[in-house]
């Protein structure tokens, strides 16, 4: 799945939502999140983010890694 990283926090441009064909991008309080089981890996959201917050999961910059994964999981666990 693709993931949204730290640059989205407090930016929330939302361009990515428009591009997603399966509507798997959800809005949190300070950032948006991609549902890992609903994302079909089409990549359409990645180029439209003005702050380059979106990456394929394996390409996420290392410095965002663990913290981001934890916050993403926490969001979908409710």
Binding site for ligand SF4 (CB under 6 A): 2, 19-20, 22, 24-25, 34, 39-45
Per-residue mark of binding to ligand F3S, 29-68 (x: CB under 6 A): ---x---------------xx-x-xx--------------
Least Å from the CB of residue 38 to ligand SF4: 7
Q: Is 6 in the site for ligand F3S (CB under 6 A)?
A: no
User: What are the Cα distances from residue 54, in Å, to 42, 63?
Assistant: 12, 14
Q: Is 15 in the site for ligand F3S (CB under 6 A)?
A: yes
Q: Is 16 in the site for ligand F3S (CB under 6 A)?
A: yes
- In the block, which residue shows the tokens 């591009």? 19
């Amino acid at each position: 799945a693709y993931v949204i990283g730290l640059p989205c926090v407090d930016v929330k441009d939302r361009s990515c939502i428009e591009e997603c064909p399966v509507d798997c991008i959800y809005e949190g309080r300070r950032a948006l999140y991609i549902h890992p089981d609903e994302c079909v890996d089409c990549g359409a959201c990645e180029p439209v983010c003005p702050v380059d917050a979106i990456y394929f999961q394996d390409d996420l910059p290392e410095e965002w890694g663990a913290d981001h994964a934890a916050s993403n999981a926490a969001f979908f666990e409710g």
